[in-house]
A and B are shown apart, each in its own frame.
Chain A
Amino acid sequence: MNGRSIEVLLIEDSPGDVRLTKEALKEGKILNNLHVVNDGVEAMSFLRKQGGYQSSPAPDLILLDLNMPKKDGREVLSEIKADPKLKSIPVVVLTTSSAEEDILKSYDLHANCYITKPVDLDQFIKVVKSINNFWLNIVELPPNIK
């Protein structure tokens, strides 16, 4: 870690899940800046620094839910990966779906990894910790993001 705070964007419509993710981070004693947007349209505004997000930071990691109103996760994923400025940001699909077609579709759209949210809270905390640990501590990300 180079002391700079880690920016994580959580794209999730369910307040319960947002809270749960926050709680999990808290339980896992992970400190980083968690930004939350509630749908795909907002997510794209955030990433492109449009609307009310002119001053928002470029995220180091995106946690993406698939099923959302307005613009769903698949569209968001496809737009991110089609955007030269955004495509190098790792996107972790974090969803309740374990459907095969969702998994395939996500990897087709160049998701960096696909994780089904565990029902068990302990498991969920472990997963969130792992994501942080893997993507933000173990993996070397492209320098332009940092």
Chain B
Amino acid sequence: MQHQSIEKKLFLWILGFCLFFGVGSASWIIHSEGKYRINSAKKSLLLVSSRYKGTLETIIEKKRKQGVAANHVVLESLIGKNNSLQTEIRKDHKGAFRSSDGFSGAFFSNLNTLIPEQKRLFAATENLWKDIAPLLLEDFYNFYFISDQNFIRIFPEDWALKIEADHNFSTDIFYSIATPEQNPSKKSVWTEVYYDSIWKKWMTSLIVPLYDKDHFLGITGSDFILDEIFSYIEQMAKTEGWCKGFLFDNNGNIIVHADYRGKILKKQKIMNEKLTLENLDNEGLTELISNFTKGKQAFGTPFSFYDRKIFSYVVVQPIKFLNWNLGVYTSHTSVVKGLPSLQWQILAASIVLAIFLALILKYSFNKLILQRVNRLGDGVSAISKGNHDFNLEVVGNDEIGTLEQGFLGMRDSVKEKITELEHKNEELQQFAYVASHDLQEPLRMVSSYVQLLARRYKGKLDEDADDFIDFAVDGANRMHVLINDLLTYSRIGTKGTPFKLISTDDIMKEVLKNLSVTIDENKAEITYHSLPSIVADKNQFIQLFQNLLANAIKFKGKDVTKITIKAEETDEGWNFSIKDNGIGMDSEFTDRIFVIFQRLHNRSEYPGTGIGLAVCKKIVERHGGRIWVESKQGVGSTFHFIIPKMEEPS
């Protein structure tokens, strides 16, 4: 069924196309969606880092301002002010003086005695700290003053009470950083992150040098514990969810990173030790930081790096006032999160869509074209089978409509022509039949009266008259045979019997019986092997085989006549062959012998009218087959005929 295969093919083609485009567009969508997400992630990174950088800078600036303001207050309070000391100054056995009012504490190292100015420092700072410390407490973890004389006032008091007696502040990072030598600008400075063994914490300190005019008096300071910044950066990760932040200083030390909090903070170090990257096992991050500190990478531009083998995007921005840099980053996987499942969803959707589309197209193609084409196909096959009354409705004036109209036109003209032909053929057959039939009548008359003449007057007239009568009788007889042959020939088309399943084996037996006298007289050897059953006109097949066999015997050669009948199955149908070892013929005559009344031999050599093979041809053609001969003069002939296989009519 050809049309089904077109339908299937069409379905598969459309499905293929739709799938191709579906999958293509799905991957395109995913690709551009990925690109878009990466771009917006980079933008968001920049936005978030700017925001947090801003906030961080604000906090730091506020602290700095507060620290500077406090510094001024300290300066004003210390110069020329006399206060009485409320608490007792104790001297320990190593020569360190300490005081504590339970709120702030003070310490002087390794002195034998306190001079009045030094006592004044104890008293002045104690009073001042009482006033300002509660205010600073809101923003500062601690607040202290270290004089260039190795004196410290600090709240909370703990450190002042615990500090080693011989402690020298000049080596402390939170002091040395602000000395005139280290800090000629006299402005406030932030220390690097260092370890404070008193608090057991990593911290950075805001140090403001204290100058009375140009005279360096010491510093005021406040510590900034790394925990706070951790909390801040962790807060960012919690608030934003999708990104992480980290801080590193310009020396390439990581200061804060959510993932390293434990590693950094739990380190047990000694006082003033600076934070280093020694335990950072993240090559990507190390390289990133190194690139920034070496100036290889510009700040503020998003770029990609590997965070422990995870491809990530990062934006790094410097923090003002501190030599710190804030990095914010996110992993590629979190950026494209959900994309793979989206990809499958789009893929599935496009497959469903493809099938749906293919079905719709198949249906509409079937409806619009295929059904009509099939109908046309039915029409054509109906006409080819001889049903010329097949009708079909012309749907629309589209291309197929034109075809349908064309088909109807063709059908009508075929019908007309066929009718005309049938009519003519019938006329012709009728003519042949009637002519031969009606010829019998006068012929019989001629023949009968000539015979009557011969009967009554033979020997009574002269010799010539007897000869003439003989010729007339012979002519009449021959004409009689011819007319009978013609009748037989014309009857094949008009007087056939219906086709049915017959055994050609049985036919052969019957033919051999019919020809038994001839066969015996000629001592012919006839062999045949299991011949098939076919659908045919039985009487005509008897006639067909009989004519061919009789011919083979009639045109025998010098040797013993041997005739072989075979049948082979071919694509065209059953191929029968009748092979003899007779006189054969020249190849130029092989077509002529099938024409009615065509003879290759003189009547005196071989009797006959030349009707036998014409009848055979007509019979074979009536069965839709063809007949031919392969022959070699003096060797023999093989007659072939092919009969197509037919369904037995029910």
User: At the interface with chain B, which of A46-54, A69-77, A107-115, A120-128?
Assistant: A120-128
Rounded to whole Å, the gap between the CB of A13 and the closest CB of chain B is 11
CB of B448 within 8 A of CB of A119, answer yes
CB of A100 within 8 A of CB of B495, answer yes
The reply to whether the CB of A133 lies closer than 8 angstroms to some CB of chain B is no
A97–B441 Cα gap in the complex (Å)?
9
B-contacting residues, A10-48, CB 8 Å: 14, 16-17, 20, 23, 27
> In the assembled complex, which residues on chain A have CB atoms less than 8 Å from the CB atom of B36?
none
Known A-B contacts A23-B452, A96-B440, A97-B437; A17 and B445 likewise in contact (beta carbons under 8 Å): yes
A19–B495 Cα gap in the complex (Å)?
34
Residues of B near any A CB (own CB < 8 A): 437, 440-441, 443-445, 447-449, 451-452, 455, 476, 480, 495
CB of B455 within 8 A of CB of A121, answer yes
What does the 1/0 interface line of A80-110 toward B look like (CB < 8 Å)? Answer: 0000000000000000110110000000000
A27–B443 Cα gap in the complex (Å)?
21
Known A-B contacts A97-B437, A100-B495; A16 and B455 likewise in contact (beta carbons under 8 Å): no
CB of B441 within 8 A of CB of A121, answer no
CB of A120 within 8 A of CB of B447, answer yes
Rounded to whole Å, the gap between the CB of A67 and the closest CB of chain B is 8
CB of A121 within 8 A of CB of B440, answer no
Residues of A near any B CB (own CB < 8 A): 14, 16-17, 20, 23, 27, 96-97, 99-100, 117, 119-122, 124
Rounded to whole Å, the gap between the CB of B155 and the closest CB of chain A is 144
Residue of B437, B448, B449 contacting most chain A CB atoms (<10 Å): B448
Residue among B437, B441, B448, B476 making CB contact with A124, cutoff 8 Å? B448
A23–B480 Cα gap in the complex (Å)?
22
Rounded to whole Å, the gap between the CB of A117 and the closest CB of chain B is 6
A125–B116 Cα gap in the complex (Å)?
190
> In the assembled complex, which residues on chain B have CB atoms less than 8 Å from the CB atom of A16?
445, 449
CB of A121 within 8 A of CB of B445, answer no
A96–B434 Cα gap in the complex (Å)?
12
CB of A99 within 8 A of CB of B455, answer no
Known A-B contacts A96-B444, A100-B495, A117-B444; A122 and B437 likewise in contact (beta carbons under 8 Å): no
Known A-B contacts A17-B445, A100-B495; A119 and B452 likewise in contact (beta carbons under 8 Å): no
> In the assembled complex, which residues on chain A have CB atoms less than 8 Å from the CB atom of B455?
27, 121
CB of B437 within 8 A of CB of A121, answer no
CB of A121 within 8 A of CB of B447, answer yes
CB of B437 within 8 A of CB of A120, answer no
> In the assembled complex, which residues on chain A have CB atoms less than 8 Å from the CB atom of B441?
14, 96
Nearest 8 pairs of A and B residues by beta carbon = A121-B451, A16-B445, A119-B444, A121-B448, A96-B441, A119-B480, A119-B447, A96-B440
> In the assembled complex, which residues on chain A have CB atoms less than 8 Å from the CB atom of B476?
119
CB of B451 within 8 A of CB of A120, answer yes
> In the assembled complex, which residues on chain B have CB atoms less than 8 Å from the CB atom of A100?
495
Known A-B contacts A121-B452, A121-B455; A99 and B447 likewise in contact (beta carbons under 8 Å): no
CB of B437 within 8 A of CB of A119, answer no
Sample (19) of A-B pairs whose CB atoms are under 8 Å apart:
A14-B441, A14-B445, A16-B445, A16-B449, A17-B445, A20-B445, A20-B449, A20-B452, A23-B452, A96-B441, A97-B437, A100-B495, A117-B444, A119-B447, A120-B448, A120-B451, A121-B451, A121-B455, A122-B451
A96–B445 Cα gap in the complex (Å)?
10
Chain B residue with the shortest CB-CB distance to A101:
B495
Rounded to whole Å, the gap between the CB of A28 and the closest CB of chain B is 13
